[in-house]
């Protein structure tokens, strides 16, 4: 059967001007370096590459916007990556990619180098002699040809500025001998010690007679958006596990009589930054944490309503993620309760997520797990659990049929093609679950596409699942979770497992 070409996928609403951002931001960073009059250490808050959070809350912001902006001044800068030794000890994982922080450091170095950036130094922060995992990782990095600077835990940080700005504080840290005029300091995630790394480097530069300064490129919270703007609240939800809180910058208010948005960690550490610069140079160019920022993202929002709604949806997703993480780890509901408070301030509820009710309705009707996906045009497609397919796999096939314009009655995979895979799983590979996962369905669909036009058309629609919201009524296994992540689908789940058990292989 020959199928007529499917209509192009609807264009999603855009709220952010990407080209304006890249142009304004690169010029602003160059201007700040000239104002500093020497070497600039630029703390890069958030993710320098793959900033999926920003792209979700400000549609039109691309995950690689920041790196594209820095490419404008690539020959003048180098990138320094830092990593908190405590994050290594607790095996922290980058949630959006599903990989440990130490592996993400290696990935980031590769990505930056492939784009032509100079990356030679890694800084391990808050290192103690008992951090054997971190010390082993440092040795691994050095074997790979990278230079590792070890920064120690400084008692009294960040309040005891007299000790910190001394030979007994920053003076005990290794110095990373950077060579370019602009040094971008980045990390796999928040809480990695980027600010302390910048300040330590500035201390050592001045000890060597090299003029240097500091600025911060923190995308969130956006300083010139109101405190309770959903985009800023979405940042608070994303960092609920760190106890980050948005607040009015009290230093900026006192200096200029203007209310702007900052957050607690910047406000807490600002006296240290100011004291450091005053001790080194005799004065500080900054009267407030906001002054030290170079972020112009707020000036590139072109449709405020689009960004508000996208941010509210992100807050709800963060709520479900917190619930699932707590269920998997048998943890107290501290993070989910904090995100629930943010949801209340943003004026949204879990029911505002359009895919939740349809997925729950499938489960109520069938007595088995259900799932739902919202396509770009607002169409909701569901999937139910059957003897052949799990609900996520069924939903995936149904969504591809909808996108390809195929009738619901069309079978992309026949039972005869599915049953041999089930036999392989249960009789030879030791699986207790005969139903096909999403990866197995996609492989079977790829095989069918060689001889079946319908399967070929359906497979060609995979790219149009990027950015689609998905909800499942049970926690996804790692295989299905990884497939949806690769497809760019934004998945949430009810915080319960499909079956009761003490040991779970996800």
User: Comparing C-alpha atoms, which of 457, 420, 453 is closest to residue 436?
Assistant: 420
pLDDT tens figures, 151-188: 999 998 887 888 888 999 999 999 999 999 999 999 98
Which residue, chain included where needed, has tokens 């006192």?
254
For position 505, what pLDDT does the model report?
52
Does residue 54 carry a pLDDT above 50?
A: yes
- 3-state DSSP assignment of residue 491: strand
- Is residue 318 left, alpha or beta, with left meaning phi > 0 and alpha meaning psi from -120 to 50? alpha
For position 224, what pLDDT does the model report?
95
pLDDT tens figures, 349-371: 999 999 999 999 999 999 999 99
pLDDT tens figures, 453-490: 999 999 999 999 999 999 999 999 888 999 999 999 99
pLDDT tens figures, 244-268: 899 999 999 999 999 999 999 889 8
- Per-residue pLDDT band for 109 (boundaries 50, 70, 90) equals very high
pLDDT tens figures, 60-80: 999 888 888 899 889 999 999
Does residue 429 carry a pLDDT above 70?
A: no
* Rounded Cα gap, residues 225 and 366, in angstroms: 46
- 3-state DSSP assignment of residue 359: helix
- Per-residue pLDDT band for 502 (boundaries 50, 70, 90) equals very low
- Cβ atoms of residues 170 and 200 within 8 Å: yes
Does residue 503 carry a pLDDT above 50?
A: no
Delineate the domains of the chain, giving CATH numbers in brackets. 18-217 (3.10.630.10), 354-493 (3.40.140.40)
The DSSP letter of residue 12 is P
Q: Calculate what percentage of the chain has a pLDDT beyond 90.
A: 66
* Rounded Cα gap, residues 93 and 323, in angstroms: 17
- Number of other residues whose CB lies within 10 A of the CB of residue 135: 18
- Number of other residues whose CB lies within 10 A of the CB of residue 174: 17
Does residue 82 carry a pLDDT above 90?
A: yes
For position 309, what pLDDT does the model report?
97
* Rounded Cα gap, residues 2 and 6, in angstroms: 12
- Per-residue pLDDT band for 430 (boundaries 50, 70, 90) equals low
Averaged over 302-306, what is the pLDDT?
97
For position 1, what pLDDT does the model report?
28
- Per-residue pLDDT band for 215 (boundaries 50, 70, 90) equals very high
For position 5, what pLDDT does the model report?
41
Does residue 145 carry a pLDDT above 90?
A: yes
For position 301, what pLDDT does the model report?
98
Element (H, E) at 143: helix 132-143
For position 2, what pLDDT does the model report?
31
Q: Which sign, positive or negative, has the C-alpha torsion 495, 501, 503, 506?
A: negative
Q: Calculate what percentage of the chain has a pLDDT beyond 70.
A: 94
Which residue, chain included where needed, has tokens 């992100």?
314
Count how many Cα atoms sit within 13 Å of the Cα of residue 271 in the half-sphere of its side chain.
10
- Per-residue pLDDT band for 6 (boundaries 50, 70, 90) equals very low
- Number of other residues whose CB lies within 10 A of the CB of residue 166: 15
- Number of other residues whose CB lies within 10 A of the CB of residue 136: 12
Report the first-to-last Cα separation within the chain, whole angstroms.
39
């Amino acid at each position: 059967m020959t199928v007529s070409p499917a209509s192009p996928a609807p264009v999603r609403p855009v709220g952010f001007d990407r080209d304006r951002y890249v142009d304004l931001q690169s010029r602003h960073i160059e201007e700040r370096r000239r104002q500093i009059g020497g070497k600039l250490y630029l703390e890069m808050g958030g993710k320098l590459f793959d900033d999926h959070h920003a792209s979700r809350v400000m549609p039109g912001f691309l995950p690689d916007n920041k790196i594209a902006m820095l490419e404008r001044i690539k020959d003048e800068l180098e990138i320094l990556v830092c990593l908190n030794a405590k994050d290594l000890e607790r095996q922290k994982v980058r949630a959006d990619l599903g990989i440990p922080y130490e592996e993400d450091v290696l990935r980031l170095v590769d990505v930056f180098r492939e784009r032509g950036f100079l990356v030679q130094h890694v800084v391990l922060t808050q290192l103690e002699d008992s951090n054997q995992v971190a010390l082993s990782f440092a040795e691994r990095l050095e074997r790979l040809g990278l230079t590792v600077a070890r920064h120690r835990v400084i008692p009294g940080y960040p309040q005891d500025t007299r000790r910190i700005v001394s030979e007994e504080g920053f003076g005990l840290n290794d110095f990373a001998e950077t060579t370019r005029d602009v040094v971008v300091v980045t990390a796999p995630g928040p809480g990695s010690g980027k600010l302390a790394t910048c300040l330590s480097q500035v201390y050592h530069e001045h000890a060597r007679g090299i003029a240097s300064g500091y600025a911060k490129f923190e995308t969130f919270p956006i300083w010139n958006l109101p405190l309770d703007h959903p985009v800023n609240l979405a940042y608070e939800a994303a960092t609920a596990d760190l106890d980050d809180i948005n607040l009015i910058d009290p230093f900026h208010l006192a200096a200029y009589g203007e209310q702007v948005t900052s957050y607690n960690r910047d406000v807490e550490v600002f006296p240290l930054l100011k004291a450091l610069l005053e001790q080194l140079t005799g004065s500080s160019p900054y009267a407030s944490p906001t002054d030290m920022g170079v972020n112009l993202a707020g000036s590139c929002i072109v449709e405020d309503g689009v960004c508000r709604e996208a941010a509210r949806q992100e807050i709800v997703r963060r709520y479900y993620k917190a619930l699932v993480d707590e269920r998997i780890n048998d943890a107290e509901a501290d993070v989910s309760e904090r995100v629930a408070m943010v949801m209340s301030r943003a004026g949204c509820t879990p029911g505002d997520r359009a895919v939740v009710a349809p997925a729950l309705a499938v489960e109520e009707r069938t007595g088995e797990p259900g799932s739902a996906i919202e396509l770009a045009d607002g169409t909701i497609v569901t999937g139910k659990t059957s003897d052949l397919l799990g609900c996520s796999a069924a939903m995936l096939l149904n969504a591809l049929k909808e996108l390809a314009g195929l009738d619901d009655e069309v079978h992309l995979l026949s039972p005869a093609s599915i049953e041999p895979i089930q036999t392989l799983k249960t009789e030879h590979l030791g699986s207790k679950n005969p139903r096909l996962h999403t990866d197995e369905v996609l492989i079977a669909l790829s095989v069918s596409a060689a001889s079946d036009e319908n399967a070929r058309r359906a497979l060609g629609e995979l790219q149009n699942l990027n950015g689609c919201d998905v909800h499942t009524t049970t926690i996804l296994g790692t295989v299905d979770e990884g497939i949806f992540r690769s497809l760019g689908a934004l998945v949430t789940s009810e915080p319960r497992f499909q079956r009761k058990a003490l040991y779970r292989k996800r």
